């Protein structure tokens, strides 16, 4: 039976694959970058490394992981940790580009520039999340259930607010988050941020 369970060590390859298969505004990003591995090193693996207690997966009938949610209770602390510890150890294969000439360049500039205070809503809504589901797991309330699971875990830690950021062109995500309790908030160009109090 399909179920939500906690992240377990060994799930990382499945999470990395799902990240790539959903990274292009919800669609398959395979081959968009020179190195597909970059997506997961920025958007999912650091979260399960630092906060495995806030990582949950959807496991299908056949035992495959078909979706996940990951998060951090303290965006400011997480971004500093990413900048000071995670990325210096992982980013060596991908030097900082001098100028942005490709989508990979843009991701690398973002990765190298991550640090506390980069997002104005991190103080009021200190937690943030990333959630991805393969197409086979979409439209069955698993996204809603994953968010509810994470919200419960964050409330247990006394976290007062949660935010996330979606690509503006990811119309499915932009339509979904208001249905699960999030409100759109002022955002950077090209993205839409959402937040909710807990």
**Looking only at Cα atoms, what is the longest distance across the chain?**
49
* Model confidence band, residue 1 (pLDDT cutoffs 50, 70, 90): confident
What is the pLDDT at residue 126?
97
Q: Give the 3-state secondary structure of 125-181.
A: CCEEEEEEECHHHCCCCHHHHHHHHHHHHHHHCCCCEEEEEEECCCHHHHHHHHHHC
Q: Looking at the domain assignment, is residue 189 inside a domain?
A: no
Report yes or no on 168 lying in a domain: no
Alpha-carbon span 119 to 9, nearest angstrom: 30
The pLDDT tens digits of the residues spanning 125-182 come to: 999 999 999 999 999 999 999 999 999 999 999 999 999 999 999 998 999 999 999 9
| Nearest CA among 117, 123, 113, 120 for reference residue 185 | 120
Residue with tokens 């399960």: 48
pTM given for the model = 0.95
Per-residue model confidence as pLDDT tens digits over 15-45: 999 999 999 999 999 999 999 999 999 999 9
Q: Note whether residue 172 is domain-resident.
A: no
End-to-end CA distance of the chain: 30
Which residue in 116, 2, 19 sits closest to 69, CA to CA?
Answer: 19
On whether the CB atoms of residues 14 and 7 are closer than 8 A, the answer is no
Q: How many domains, the chain? A: 1
In a domain, 121, yes or no: yes
| pLDDT of 119 | 77
Q: Domain for residue 185, yes or no?
A: no
- Quick: pLDDT tens for 85-101: 999 999 999 999 999 99
For residue 50, the domain's CATH number is 3.40.630.30
Rounded CA gap, 16 and 45, in Å?
7
SS3 71: strand
Quick one: which H or E segment has residue 4? Answer: strand 3-6
| pLDDT value at residue 102 | 95
What are the pLDDT digits (tens) for 130-140? 999 999 999 99
Does residue 186 form part of some domain?
no
User: Is 177 inside a domain boundary?
Assistant: no
pLDDT digits (tens, 9 = 90+) for 101-124: 999 999 999 999 999 887 778 889
Domain that holds residue 27: 3-159
Q: Is residue 188 part of a domain?
A: no
The pLDDT mean for the chain works out to 95
Mean pLDDT of 177-197: 93
Gap between the Cα atoms of 99 and 196, Å rounded: 36
């Amino acid at each position: 039976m399909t179920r939500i369970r906690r992240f377990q060590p060994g799930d990382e390859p499945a999470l990395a694959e799902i990240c790539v298969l959903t990274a292009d505004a919800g669609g398959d990003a395979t081959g968009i970058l020179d190195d597909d591995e970059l997506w997961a090193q920025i958007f999912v693996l650091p979260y399960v490394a630092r906060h495995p207690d806030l990582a949950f997966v959807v496991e299908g009938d056949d035992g495959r992981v078909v979706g996940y949610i990951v998060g951090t209770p303290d965006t400011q602390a997480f971004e500093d940790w990413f900048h000071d510890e995670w990325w210096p150890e992982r980013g060596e294969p991908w030097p900082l580009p001098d100028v942005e000439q490709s989508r990979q360049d843009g991701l690398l500039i973002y990765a190298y520039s991550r640090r506390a205070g980069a997002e104005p809503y991190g103080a009021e809504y200190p937690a943030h999340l990333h959630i991805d589901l393969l197409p086979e797991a979409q439209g069955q309330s698993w996204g809603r259930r994953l968010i509810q699971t994470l919200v419960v875990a964050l409330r247990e830690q006394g976290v007062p607010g949660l935010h996330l950021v979606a690509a503006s062109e990811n119309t499915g995500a932009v339509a979904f988050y208001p249905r699960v309790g999030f409100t759109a908030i002022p955002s950077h160009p090209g993205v839409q941020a959402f937040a909710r109090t807990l």
